[in-house]
Structure 1
Amino acid sequence: MVSQDQIQVMKAALPYVPPSGQRFLSVMAKMMELQNTISLFSKPRGEMSICAVENEKVEPLEMLQDIRRFCNGPTQERIDSLINTLVMVQILELSQDNNNT
């Protein structure tokens, strides 16, 4: 939503530009994305509410799995640990429910 085709082209061209131009193009691309983000949030709620989860119950496990796709390295490992912990808690809760019935 914030990155148009021309911004993606600029990013793809970065390795082919001299180092002095890489800094300029990179900053310019980020500034354009920031302008697009500001523009999105200054418009009526309709466009951004498409992406929002409002009336649904947000499941932490699902949210973490979605976020994990955009991480790597140590951050991804921390999220994996959180996911594993949540799964273990769910298993314990299920086993307690089964023991109580």
Structure 2
Amino acid sequence: MDAEKIPLTEADTASYDSTAQMLKAAMAYVNPSLGKMMAVMAKSIELQHMMQYLNQGGIRACGVSNRSIPPEEVLRDLRKYCGSKEKEQLDRCLNLMNMAKMYEMYRNFSGSGDLSAMASMMSSAAGTGSGEAAGTSGSAGDNEYFRKMQSMLTPEQIQLIRNIGNQQNT
């Protein structure tokens, strides 16, 4: 378990019971068979509280009713309850989602799914085109657009796009 303090969820707060906490703390001081019984009692108390909470309306994420919640919003909210390893995994997922969105924006923008054009435009926007002068792959507006897209990516993601673009050219 990480040393950092992870906050309680709304559900944890609703199911909290001081008696259950005392039972769990006391488990370390009794024989194992009595400790098991105390653990079951503590969890059943918490379960009762959770059922009462859910019967009274339960949890609503950010007060939403029937609106569609973007997956990125869910992942960003879940980050609060993660340790450092889990946060890294969620961050990777969020980066991949951002990359997919940017690719979709590119496809809509250019009317093409050709990643080699995207890689070329990103290279020229960054001034690192392979043998090309900056700006020859598109207009100044295109370059500005791809500079903004590039600023949202990690260097590894930029290299991945360039590699895919190079593979499509061969």
Residue 23 (structure 1) aligned to one of 36, 39, 64: 36
Residue 58 (structure 1) aligned to one of 69, 75, 98: 69
Q: Which runs of 4+ in 1 moved over 6 A?
A: none
Structure 2: gaps spanning 5 or more residues: 1-13, 112-141, 143-170
Q: Identify the structure with bigger relative contact order (alpha carbons < 8 Å, sequence gap 6+).
A: 1
- Tell me which residue corresponds to 1:37: 50
RMSD: 3.3
3-state SS of 1:41 partner: helix
- Tell me the distance in 2 between the aligned counterparts of 1:38 and 1:66: 23
Aligned residues: 97
Structure 1: gaps spanning 5 or more residues: none
TM-superposed CA distance for 1:2, in Å, is: 0.9
Identity of aligned residues (%): 29
For 1:3-61, what per-residue CA distance to the aligned partner results, in whole angstroms no more than 9, with x for missing partners? 22222233333333332232112111111111112222333x3xx25655215541211
Q: Does 1:93 align with 2:104?
A: yes
**Higher helix content, 1 or 2:** 1
Residue 83 (structure 1) aligned to one of 94, 104, 115: 94
Question: In structure 2, do the counterparts of structure 1 residues 11 and 68 end up closer, same or farther at CA, with 3 Å as the change threshold?
Answer: farther
